[in-house]
């Protein structure tokens, strides 16, 4: 045999690795909208549709949760994206915060 290396391939041997996406490994941040006495329900629904691109029924669901329960967790995102959403919601006059999940 010459100086060439031999590589052994075993088709029966499988190495199963559970790989998680980077987003799953990063800490998540919750975007929360809080109830306020200022904004009308239709306006809040509209803002959710504009900021998140949600259909009306999903935006209304979260608006009613804000109205009835005092807050709604709108989404879970990376820190940068959560900050972006909070700023967008605040720009429209909504009370929004983020917290680590």
pLDDT tens-digit map of 31-69 = 999 999 999 999 999 999 999 999 999 999 999 999 999
Tokens of 44: 């809040």
Q: What is the fold, at CATH topology level, of the domain defined by 25-100?
A: Ribosomal Protein L30; Chain: A, (3.30.1390)
In whole angstroms, what is the distance from residue 37 CA to residue 31 CA? 20
Burial of 76: CB neighbours in 10 Å, binned 0-12, 13-18, 19+: middle
Quick check: pTM over 0.95?
Answer: no
Confidence of residue 6 (pLDDT cuts 50, 70, 90): low
């Amino acid at each position: 045999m010459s100086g060439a290396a031999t590589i052994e391939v075993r088709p029966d041997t499988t190495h199963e690795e559970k790989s998680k996406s980077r987003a799953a490994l990063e800490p998540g941040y919750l975007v929360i909208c809080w109830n306020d006495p200022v904004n009308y329900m239709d306006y809040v629904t509209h803002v959710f549709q504009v900021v998140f691109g949600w259909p009306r029924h999903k935006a209304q669901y979260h608006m009613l949760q804000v109205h009835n329960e005092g807050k709604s967790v709108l989404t879970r995102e990376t820190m940068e994206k959560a900050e972006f959403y909070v700023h967008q919601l605040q720009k429209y006059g909504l009370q929004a915060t983020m917290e680590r999940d």
